[in-house]
């Protein structure tokens, strides 16, 4: 008997830095959402689509919910994560193995008003030396909420991701696919290019620069043989500009080389990338500037 086709929306929720973006990338089998070890790397809702013979999974990666939020950018990040809860068919609440903390409680508090199934995905189990270490943690979290399933996984090592997909499918409504089989996102190529460049900035700068950096694509000229991209990197202060550029321009050159390589892999053609750095004071705490820079409620 043929399985009835299912299709629906699945939110990936959790505090910052628990591996939501890595999970999305591995679930859809494509580097789509940027990753780093730094919290707040994800700033936008990113939709990733996985189509199989019997289901279409439409994942929505979100910025990590976090306490605080005085800056306009922080308020935007929390708003972006909260806004989708009521519109989902399934929620995947991602936590880190043996690492439940106050920020996980904050995420859980937002789920109290949701009517849709919530699956708890306990990530990074590959980092445990003895899997039996997880048992007390499983007992502890199982009583916190009426979860529709609890799945120990490793997004980075692809452990139990097939089982997670099977569990998700149980809760998706019977429906035809919403998107073509070969579509993996609704995001534009310009957006993906900007995010790939920003990832290299975040990874290259480490803790030297606060999250006061964003990337705009000013030119995206896609020809049959070459893709020409002009990217504007915006920071908030002159000293931050100097840090991004580096001594003798070495750092911005390295960022450009790393970004170009990844862009060429993604788009499957040669990429000519040019970058500039501009100071725009206070952009991350200015609602109007955020909108001009593309920080809008997308979903």
pLDDT tens-place string over residues 33-52: 655 454 454 455 678 999 99
Distance, CA of 80 to CA of 296 (rounded, Å): 9
pLDDT band (50, 70, 90) for residue 79: low
pLDDT band (50, 70, 90) for residue 72: low
For 124-166, what is each residue's pLDDT tens digit?
999 998 888 899 999 999 999 999 999 999 999 999 999 999 9
Tokens of 245: 């550029």
Task: Check residue 185 and report its DSSP letter.
Answer: B
Burial label for 56, CB within 10 Å (0-12, 13-18, 19+), is: buried
8 A C-beta contact, residue 39 and residue 16: yes
The β-bridge partners of 221 are 228
Ordered alpha helix ranges (H), the chain = 20-28, 72-82, 102-111, 134-142, 161-171, 189-205, 238-245, 250-267, 287-292
Tokens of 246: 């580096």
Q: Where in the chain is CATH 3.40.50.300? A: 6-171
Task: Check residue 296 and report its DSSP letter.
Answer: -
Q: Is the pLDDT of residue 12 over 60?
A: yes
8 A C-beta contact, residue 34 and residue 81: no
What is the pTM (predicted TM-score) of this model? 0.78
225-239: average pLDDT: 91
Tokens of 162: 């097939």
Q: What is the pLDDT of residue 6?
A: 97
Q: Is the pLDDT of residue 189 over 50?
A: yes
CB atoms within 10 A of CB 8: 20
Select the more confidently predicted residue: 269 or 113: 269
The β-bridge partners of 147 are none
11-40: average pLDDT: 78
Distance, CA of 236 to CA of 284 (rounded, Å): 8
Distance, CA of 52 to CA of 69 (rounded, Å): 39
Distance, CA of 279 to CA of 283 (rounded, Å): 9
Query: Of all residues in the chain, what percent carry a pLDDT higher than 70?
Result: 79
Q: Where in the chain is CATH 3.30.300.20? A: 189-292
Q: What is the pLDDT of residue 32?
A: 74
8 A C-beta contact, residue 12 and residue 24: yes
Please identify, in words, the CATH class of the domain defined by 189-292: alpha beta
Residue in the structure block whose two tokens are 């929505």? 60
Q: What is the pLDDT of residue 235?
A: 86
Average per-residue pLDDT in the chain? 84
Q: What is the pLDDT of residue 112?
A: 81
103 dihedral zone (left: phi>0; alpha: psi -120 to 50; beta): alpha
Q: What is the pLDDT of residue 94?
A: 95
For 235-251, what is each residue's pLDDT tens digit?
888 888 998 999 999 99
CB atoms within 10 A of CB 209: 18
For 6-171, CATH number out of 3.40.50.300, 3.40.50.20, 2.160.20.60, 1.20.1440.20 equals: 3.40.50.300
Q: What is the pLDDT of residue 109?
A: 85
Q: Is the pLDDT of residue 299 over 50?
A: no
């Amino acid at each position: 008997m043929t399985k009835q086709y299912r299709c629906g929306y699945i939110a990936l929720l959790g505090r910052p830095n628990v591996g939501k973006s890595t999970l999305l990338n591995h679930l859809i089998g494509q580097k789509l959402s940027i990753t780093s070890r730094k919290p707040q790397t994800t700033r936008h809702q990113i939709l990733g689509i996985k189509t199989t013979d019997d289901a279409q999974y439409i994942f929505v990666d979100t910025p990590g919910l976090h306490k605080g939020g005085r800056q306009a950018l922080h308020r935007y990040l929390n708003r972006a994560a909260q806004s989708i809860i009521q519109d989902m068919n399934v929620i995947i609440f991602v936590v880190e193995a043996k690492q439940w903390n106050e920020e996980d409680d904050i995420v859980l508090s937002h789920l109290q008003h949701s009517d849709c199934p919530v699956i708890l995905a306990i990530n990074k189990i590959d980092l445990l030396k003895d899997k039996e270490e997880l048992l007390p943690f499983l007992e502890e979290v199982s009583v916190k909420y009426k979860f529709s399933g609890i799945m120990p996984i490793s997004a980075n090592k692809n452990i139990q991701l097939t089982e997670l997909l099977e569990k998700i499918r149980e809760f998706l409504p019977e429906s035809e696919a919403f998107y073509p089989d070969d579509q993996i996102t609704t995001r534009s190529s310009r957006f993906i290019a900007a995010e790939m460049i920003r990832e290299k900035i975040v990874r290259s700068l480490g803790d030297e620069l606060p999250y006061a950096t964003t990337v705009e694509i000013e030119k995206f000229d896609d020809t049959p043989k070459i893709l020409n991209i002009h990217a504007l990197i915006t920071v908030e202060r002159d000293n931050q500009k100097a840090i991004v550029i580096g001594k003798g321009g070495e750092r911005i050159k390295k960022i450009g080389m790393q970004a170009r390589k990844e862009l060429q892999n993604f788009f499957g053609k040669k990429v000519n990338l040019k970058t500039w750095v501009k100071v725009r004071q206070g952009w991350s705490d200015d609602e109007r500037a955020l909108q001009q820079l593309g920080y809008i409620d997308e979903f």
